[in-house]
């Protein structure tokens, strides 16, 4: 089984006029994400399903990924991908899905923390930039500390 941890694209800054949960992707974030997702296709054949945090920027990110990958199922909102969600809960969800390639779109610092936990490096928290994908593979059913990070791709930006 493979779990793909994805941080949402670059989002609007926090401001008094925009509630945190309603922050959208920026135009640069959308552009970088679209370019990046097309590059991902060289390394990742398909996603069986895309799970997304319910926050706007994550759902937008998931929809962009969905347009390129066209998984069999629609994007599914998952509250465990909100900040503060537990890696154990994500692992349980992955097990219950019985699928091979599961994309999970969420937020930093949690995506970095989930990556650390899945590969057995609980003492570190990876800093994951917006629009980054990490592939964690498991020999069989996923378990905390038994994953292998096989891929880590940073976003494609105007500066390369």
Residue 158 is assigned to a structural domain of this protein: no
4: confidence class by pLDDT, cuts 50, 70, 90: very high
- Using DSSP's 3-state secondary structure scheme, residue 71 falls into coil
Work out how many domains the chain is built from and give that number: 1
Residue 18, pLDDT > 90, answer: no
Domain of residue 50, CATH code: 3.40.50.1240
Q: How far apart are CA 6 and CA 3, in angstroms?
A: 10
Tell me the residue range of the domain where 115 lies.
2-153
Q: Average pLDDT in the 8-36 region?
A: 90
- The single residue listed with the structure tokens 């054949």 is 45
- Using DSSP's 3-state secondary structure scheme, residue 99 falls into coil
Residue 42 is assigned to a structural domain of this protein: yes
* Single pTM value for the model: 0.94
Residue 15, pLDDT > 80, answer: no
Q: What is the DSSP letter of 104?
A: E
Q: Which of 27, 101, 112 is nearest to 64 (CA)?
A: 27
Residue 95 is assigned to a structural domain of this protein: yes
Residue 122 is assigned to a structural domain of this protein: yes
pLDDT at 159: 56
Dmax over CA atoms of the chain, in Å, equals 47
The average confidence (pLDDT) of the chain is 93
Q: Which helix (H) or strand (E) holds 92?
A: helix 87-97
Selected residue with higher pLDDT from 121 and 83: 83
Residue 144 is assigned to a structural domain of this protein: yes
Residue 44 is assigned to a structural domain of this protein: yes
Q: Average pLDDT in the 84-91 region?
A: 96
Residue 110 is assigned to a structural domain of this protein: yes
Q: Average pLDDT in the 38-55 region?
A: 96
Q: Which helix (H) or strand (E) holds 91?
A: helix 87-97
Taking only the tens place, the pLDDT of each residue in 122-147 is 667 788 999 999 999 999 889 999 99
For residue 87, what are the contacts with CB-CB under 8 A and spacing of at least 6? 113, 114, 117, 118, 144
Token code pair at residue 121: 């490096």
Residue 159 is assigned to a structural domain of this protein: no
């Amino acid at each position: 089984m493979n779990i793909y941890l994805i941080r949402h694209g670059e989002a609007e800054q926090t401001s008094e006029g925009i509630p945190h949960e309603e922050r959208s992707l920026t135009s640069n974030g959308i552009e970088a994400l679209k370019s990046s997702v097309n590059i991902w296709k060289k390394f990742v054949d398909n996603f069986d399903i895309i799970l997304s945090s319910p926050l706007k920027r994550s759902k937008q990110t998931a929809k962009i990924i969905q347009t390129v990958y066209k998984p069999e199922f629609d994007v599914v909102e998952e509250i465990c991908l909100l900040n503060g969600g537990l890696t154990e809960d994500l692992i349980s969800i992955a097990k219950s899905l019985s699928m091979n390639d599961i994309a999970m779109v969420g937020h930093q610092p949690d995506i970095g923390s989930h990556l650390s936990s899945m590969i057995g490096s609980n003492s570190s928290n990876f800093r994951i930039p917006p629009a980054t994908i990490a592939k964690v593979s498991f020999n069989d059913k996923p378990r905390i500390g038994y994953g292998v990070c096989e891929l880590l791709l940073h976003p494609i930006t105007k500066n390369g």
